[in-house]
């Protein structure tokens, strides 16, 4: 009986997510039809949101560049001109607390993890997207983001999301290396690659979309097998980065996915508790990813591969939100905060919370910039000693 109930609950979850996907499509079409009409909601001015406090200009003498690969946690706008997907957010209220209140394609109310990582390394405080048409040559020399929101390690994930794959990101990286060579020559390019840092974040969409969601891979593989395939793909990606000359690579695991607002809504019942199956899958993948990186490091001379545990500090903040100044951890700030993400959180959304700094999540899946800033600082302090 327990087995039948598990299958039934998973089927209900899949149906719910499929219905959500239809809503996303419908909202995108509706949004495109009214985009040129008069705005019917007045948003608070950009300065009304709690943006990050100004700090000193980054100064760094050891890490020349930070390069980012993966999904929406690090994406700074690579999906903006991608017509095939709804996985984009280059519209308000996204970016309402970004400098000048600009919606850049970051999946947050302001900055995202890549910006804060680069800033803490003293490189720069704003990381451009590689596909940004306004990118400047000097931007290439200090790092860019190749990440694409909705992507993942598993080959099906970017196809379902209709976004840029991890393989495509590697293709861009090859182009990037050639562009840098033309700018500064081979020797300085080699220095940038060997002394710089590559940061990789992926896996959440593999579990959220491909395994438990629209991809329904749970009908084919058990979670142990699927997470093993994910870890193998992650190790392969890292090995290819190394092959292009990158020696320092930090790979961030998956957070407690069952505790994001959308999954609380879909799987958490009336109390909207964390979905334990997703949390278990996240932990299982993280354990395998850590082992895979340790084994890989032994075979790659002069490499420095660092597994970053994001699950523990993320959980710590969720369990003790008051210690970090958060009041709301179960809902996103945009709209109802239960399911809105991407095009469901748009300029026509009837309301946005007035106290975004007290919210852990911006939409039903992505954190606020304040949470990103706190989390990145915790991780930086814990792992900075691992860098050469």
Distance, CA of 310 to CA of 376 (rounded, Å): 9
For 250-268, how does the pLDDT look when each residue is reduced to its tens digit (9 = 90+)? 999 999 999 999 999 999 8
**Beta carbons of 233 and 158 less than 8 angstroms apart:** no
251 has which bridge partners? 200, 307
Question: Are 348 and 340 a contacting pair, CB within 8 Å?
Answer: no
Task: Measure Cα distances from 92 to 150, 235, 386 in Å.
Answer: 19, 37, 38
- pLDDT of res. 289: 98
Cα end-to-end span (Å), the chain:
54
Tell me what pLDDT residue 60 has: 53
Report the catalytic residues: 72, 363, 366
Report the phi/psi class of residue 245: left, alpha or beta, with left for phi > 0 and alpha for psi in -120 to 50: left
Note the Cα 328 to chain centre separation in Å: 21
CA 60 to CA 333: how far, in whole Å? 35
CB–CB of 161/151 below 8 Å? yes
Span 180-238, pLDDT tens digits:
999 999 999 999 999 999 999 999 999 999 999 999 999 999 999 999 999 999 999 99
Sorted by where each begins, the domain ranges of the chain are 2-25+64-386
Three-class secondary structure of residue 11 per DSSP: helix
Whole-number pLDDT of residue 341: 73
The contacts of residue 69 (CB under 8 Å, 6+ apart) are: 146, 147, 166, 169, 170, 173, 198, 199, 200, 201, 202, 237, 241
Place of tokens 């694409």: 148
Neighbour count for residue 167 (Cβ, 10 Å): 13
Q: Give dist(CA 332, CA 341) in Å, integer.
A: 9
Q: What pLDDT was estimated at residue 297?
A: 96
Q: Using alpha carbons, list the distances in angstroms from residue 203 to 53, 154, 349.
A: 31, 8, 29
Instruction: Give the pLDDT score at 325.
Output: 97
Low-confidence stretches of the chain (pLDDT < 70) are: 1-61, 340
Residue 63 in tokens: 């890490």
The answer to whether 358 and 325 have CB atoms below 8 angstroms apart is: yes
| Class of residue 92 by CB neighbours under 10 A (exposed 0-12, middle 13-18, buried 19+) | buried
- CATH for 2-25+64-386 is 3.40.50.1110
């Amino acid at each position: 009986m327990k087995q039948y109930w598990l299958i039934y609950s998973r089927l209900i979850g899949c149906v719910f997510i499929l219905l959500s996907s239809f809503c996303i499509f419908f909202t995108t079409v509706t949004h495109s039809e009214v985009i040129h009409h008069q705005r019917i909601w007045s948003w608070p001015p950009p300065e009304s949101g709690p943006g990050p406090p100004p700090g000193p200009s980054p100064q760094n003498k050891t890490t020349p560049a930070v390069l980012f690969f993966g999904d929406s946690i690090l994406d700074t706008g690579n999906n903006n001109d991608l017509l095939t997907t709804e996985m984009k957010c280059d519209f308000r209220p996204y970016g309402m607390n970004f400098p000048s209140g600009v919606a850049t394609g970051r999946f947050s109310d302001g900055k995202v993890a890549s910006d804060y990582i680069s800033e803490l390394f003293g490189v720069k405080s704003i990381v451009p997207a590689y596909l940004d048409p306004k990118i400047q040559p000097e931007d290439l020399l200090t790092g860019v983001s190749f990440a694409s929101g909705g992507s993942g390690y598993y080959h099906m994930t970017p196809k379902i999301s209709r976004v840029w794959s991890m393989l495509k990101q590697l293709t861009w990286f090859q182009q990037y290396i050639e562009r840098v060579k033309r700018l500064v020559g081979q020797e300085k390019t080699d220095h940038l690659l060997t002394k710089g840092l590559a940061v990789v974040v992926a896996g959440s969409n593999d579990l959220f979309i491909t395994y438990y969601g629209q991809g329904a891979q749970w009908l084919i593989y058990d979670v142990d097998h699927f997470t093993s395939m994910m870890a193998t793909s992650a190790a392969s990606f890292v090995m290819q980065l190394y092959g292009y000359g990158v020696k320092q690579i930090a790979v961030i695991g998956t957070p407690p996915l069952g505790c994001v607002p959308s999954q609380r809504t879909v799987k958490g019942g009336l109390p909207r508790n964390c979905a334990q199956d997703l949390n278990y899958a996240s932990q299982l993948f993280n354990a395998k990813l850590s082992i895979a990186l340790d084994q890989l490091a032994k075979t790659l001379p002069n490499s420095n591969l660092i597994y970053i545990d994001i699950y523990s500090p993320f959980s710590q903040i969720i369990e003790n939100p008051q210690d970090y100044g958060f009041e709301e951890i179960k809902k996103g700030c945009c709209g109802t905060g239960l399911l809105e993400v991407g095009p469901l959180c748009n300029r026509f959304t009837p309301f946005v919370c007035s106290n975004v700094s007290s919210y852990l999540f911006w939409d039903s899946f992505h954190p606020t910039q304040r949470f990103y800033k706190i989390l990145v600082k915790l991780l930086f302090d814990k792992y900075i000693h691992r860098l050469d």
